[in-house]
Amino acid sequence: MSFSISQAISESFGIFKSRLGAMVAVQLVAIIATYALMGAFFLSALSGMGGLAALQGNPEAFAQIFAGMGFGFFLVYLVVIAISLVAQAAICALCGDPRRPTIGEALTTGVRSLPALAGACLLVIVGAIGVGLLLALLMAGAAMGANQPWLIFVLGLVAMVGAVYLMTKLSMVLPVVVLDEVRGPLMAIGRSWELTRGNSLRLFGYFLLIGILMGVVYFALVAALGGVGSNGGGGIAVAIVLGLLVLVYALLAGIYWLAAVVAAHRQLGGPSTGAIEDTFA
């Protein structure tokens, strides 16, 4: 079917308004869990250095703490990514599940979706790194051998267009895993690829339009904040309020983006995919 941008935008606002409170609650749970984890890890590392007393008169203490974190920090970073994926999946469930799950049920769905989402992310990252290395080698060869700047520009343009195309084709992976319950990472990628077939350009325009509108509002808030800040001490209270508005807007914008993805999935959703080899075209 032909993807309608206006219909998707209208539905996205309806989805956004319908479960806003529950979606904000899920996002706040994820934020609190992330900061609690990072704080606990930092305090643990700090206690291993001798506590807060070790920081006094030792300007290099912070560097020593971070240097000592090593592999532990990497593991914490992975857990933070997992928390983010679970929250996105839970919000997606709140947006698109007709059974209108509770917050607890949505978080449970998010946890169940985590292996498939993490696997799909890993496959995409590995593939992107491989293609990126190949393009980098080609660009390096063009720079060293051919001495033709236009060739480097063309290769860079190909890389940019390819990245945009790939992101558009994979934009439905999240709702495919959460709402269509496709739990295999490769199958989820194939399903997203099939759903976007024939509508990739319209879908890209849809996400680009939303991104531009969200960016305009964000920069307007930041500009207002900067203008108040330049007025001196009299505008401190207003600056604090505007700063909080920027943070709230960032949170709501992230939630709305997921609602927009679910709205697109509602239009594109159809019968389950067949064989993986038939979907990539």
DSSP string for 14-52: HHHHHTHHHHHHHHHHHHHHHHHHHHHHHHHHHHHTTSG
Res 276: pLDDT: 39
pLDDT in tens, 241-261: 777 888 899 999 999 999 999
Res 271: pLDDT: 44
Q: Which residue type occupies 184?
A: G
Q: What are the residue ranges of helices labelled H in the chain?
A: 5-18, 20-48, 61-96, 103-141, 149-169, 173-178, 185-195, 200-229, 236-268
Res 229: pLDDT: 56
Give every residue of the chain whose pLDDT is below 70, as ranges: 1, 45-71, 138-152, 226-235, 239, 270-281
Res 42: pLDDT: 78
pTM of the shown model: 0.82
Enter the tokens of residue 168: 């558009």
